[in-house]
Amino acid sequence: MLKHQENAYSIAQLLEGHSRAKQVYFPGLKRHPNNAVAQSQMRGQVGMVTFRLEGGKSAVDKFLS
């Protein structure tokens, strides 16, 4: 589980710095609005990362293909 959490954090950081990622949802990131809550309630990080891409549906279709 620890490696799962570490990988999710690495991906979230990568996405946060990517020009095509419009928004990254990962409470382990300092910029996330619920970071303080996550830090007080959890040991480690979560393993799930979600994000929004710039460019709408066509950008998402291209990313998925």
CA distance 34 to 30: 9
CA distance 12 to 5: 11
User: To the nearest whole number, what is the mean pLDDT of the chain?
Assistant: 84
pLDDT at 36: 64
* Chain segment 11-39, per-residue pLDDT in tens: 999 999 999 999 998 887 778 776 666 66
CA distance 55 to 52: 9
The residue range of the domain holding 37 is: 2-64
CATH number at residue 21: 3.90.1150.10
Please state the pTM of the whole predicted model: 0.75
Looking at the structure of the chain, the number of domains it has is: 1
pLDDT at 5: 83
